Structure 1
Amino acid sequence: MFSVKMSEELIRVFQLGDEDDRVHVIILTADPAAPAFCAGADMDEVVNGSALLGRKEDKEHEHRDPGGQVAMAIYNNRKITIAAVNGHASGTGATALQLPFDFRFIWAGAKVTFPFVRLSIVPESTSTYLLSRLIGESNAAYILFSGDGHKPDAPFLAGLYHKILPTRTEILPIAIEFAKNVAYNIGQVSYAYTKGLLHRSGASIEENHLLESRAIKIIGTSKDTVEGAQSFIKRRRPKYTDTLSENASSWYPWWKPLDVKKPKSKL
């Protein structure tokens, strides 16, 4: 069950993983023997007035959705993030714990449910933003408005999952194998820049061209770029050594993050 405590712990984990140069990949999964990957919010907390739906003492502009805070911590993480979904997923288990990840692997027998409208609440965890970007607005509308449970291979979920595997026990080993392959073959800085260009692209193709051009120029003289060219020529695995703490440009991030922690934050 997703709780306020769980949200705080997840945010801390992804913050630490982002800051530590030794970390290249973060994988989230569940005990394969558990009845579900995540069955959604802890309803006892919801009924008792926790921060999940907003504390009674909070004014409407002061509430910050814990699931959204988790989703942003994952989405803005500069490392490779993987959701290894080895069970049924509902509510936050289908939103914050899946949508903001770079890659998603799932068990074919899992049931994925977005029940918010049926519960007379609105979708959380920035899912209205992420889901429409991942599968298109039409498919996102169908999933969110119907509130039905779906199998991972449902046509309107096409493209959401990178691999759908037949057994629950396969999910984590396959995710780890994939993580190793990606981590050993990608430079940490170039990955972060590319992720930023996808998530924080320009408002037009011209603006995106300017952003890409500057990133290319900045990283073009790096040790990792030289190593990448040499490994390609010599047909060997690259040995990238540049790190975000030491080699990321002061230009990155090029966008101005909105401070969502302050109640009076303005859009």
Structure 2
Amino acid sequence: MSETLLEAPGDGVALIRLNRPQVRNALNQTVREQLAEHFAALATDPAVRCIVITGDERAFAAGADIRDMAERGAVEMYLRSNHRLWGVIAACPKPVIAAVNGFAWGGGCELAMHADLIIAGEGASFAQPEIRVGIMPGAGGTQRLTRAVGKFQALRMLLTGAPVAAREALAMGLASEVVADAEVLPRALELASNIAAMPPLAVQQIKEVVLAGQDASLDTALLLERKAFQLLFDSRDQKEGMRAFLDKRAPHYQGC
């Protein structure tokens, strides 16, 4: 059985499920490789406009598979080139929504932070507990977490390994919404459908500019925003959207 499952729950929406329930969806090398393959394919699929990634009701992903790493050496870890696999997810031009129930710990927290929106259940928790097994985050946990919640909250999590509950994660800026546990995936799919109905070029330009601009100077980021704004006036979707607004009808966006 595949350790990740790919589904098409609605128009323009792809759903990736982590499928290792026996180990609370811990991330081994096979899962990382399959995720990279899925994201590479979905990034260029014109039928897909938004991607949802989830686990199950017990765990989004409880971290990296310790059994898969415990006896590895530095050179072996280096030769895995896992940063390239994570990079495929980070480079996805389409919006990604993480639907998080239960544990999003270690690599699971890092995977959730690769998303653009995080919908968390009331019972979800987030943690970077790598320090408790003698290492540190290695897939962006120190950097993405600090950018999301700031230095002081990030270091509290990183240096203690302590988890934070969903409501605290929301207050810190580590989640977009918190909903009842049973509503996590339905809410994520609802948001994905809403985004999939938007003009794809504008959606992708918004994501690109936000991500590129967050580490640039304000002047540079505003320049990126301005150029992307101007570029969209050459799209058919811009004409369709504004004409539909003036005609008082629903627009039909084609992504061109």
CA change 1:139–1:242 in 2 (3 A) is same
The answer as to 2:219 corresponding to 1:206 is yes
Match among 50, 59, 72 for residue 25 of structure 1: 50
Partner of 1:143: 157
Q: Secondary structure at the match of 2:97?
A: strand
The answer as to 2:148 corresponding to 1:123 is no
Contact 1:27 1:82 in 2 (8 A): yes
Aligned residues: 230
Normalised to the residue count of structure 1, the TM-score between the two structures is 0.79
Q: Secondary structure at the match of 2:251?
A: coil
Amino acid at match of 1:145: L
Contact 1:83 1:104 in 2 (8 A): yes
Superposed displacement of residue 20, structure 1: 0.6
- Counterparts of 1:93 and 1:71, CA distance in 2: 12
- Counterparts of 1:80 and 1:8, CA distance in 2: 20
The answer as to 2:92 corresponding to 1:92 is no
- Counterparts of 1:5 and 1:189, CA distance in 2: 32
The answer as to 2:239 corresponding to 1:229 is no
Matches within 5 A, 1:77-226: 77-96=92-111, 98-154=112-168, 158-167=172-181, 169-184=182-197, 186-201=198-213, 203-226=216-239
Normalised to the residue count of structure 2, the TM-score between the two structures is 0.82
Contact 1:139 1:156 in 2 (8 A): no
CA change 1:229–1:65 in 2 (3 A) is same
Contact 2:128 2:141 in 1 (8 A): no
Contact 1:54 1:65 in 2 (8 A): no
Contact 2:109 2:141 in 1 (8 A): no
Superposed displacement of residue 40, structure 1: 1.1
Amino acid at match of 2:43: D
Q: Secondary structure at the match of 2:110?
A: coil
Contact 1:108 1:164 in 2 (8 A): yes
Q: Specify every segment of 5 or more residues in structure 2 that has no aligned partner in the other structure, as ranges.
A: 1-25
CA change 1:166–1:13 in 2 (3 A) is same
Contact 1:187 1:224 in 2 (8 A): yes
CA change 1:155–1:242 in 2 (3 A) is closer
CA change 1:69–1:151 in 2 (3 A) is farther
- Counterparts of 1:44 and 1:200, CA distance in 2: 36
- Counterparts of 1:130 and 1:81, CA distance in 2: 15
Q: Which moved more, 1:8-17 or 1:136-145?
A: 136-145
Superposed displacement of residue 63, structure 1: 4.7
Superposed displacement of residue 157, structure 1: 5.2
Give the share of equivalent positions with the same residue, in percent: 28
Superposed displacement of residue 209, structure 1: 2.9
- Counterparts of 1:151 and 1:187, CA distance in 2: 35
Matches within 5 A, 1:235-254: 235-243=248-256
Q: Specify every segment of 5 or more residues in structure 1 that has no aligned partner in the other structure, as ranges.
A: 244-267
- What is the Cα-based RMSD across aligned positions, in Å? 2.1
In proportion to residue count, which structure has more strand? 2
- Counterparts of 2:141 and 2:159, CA distance in 1: 13
Match among 55, 60, 67 for residue 44 of structure 1: 67
Superposed displacement of residue 188, structure 1: 1.1
Partner of 2:90: 75
Contact 1:114 1:143 in 2 (8 A): yes
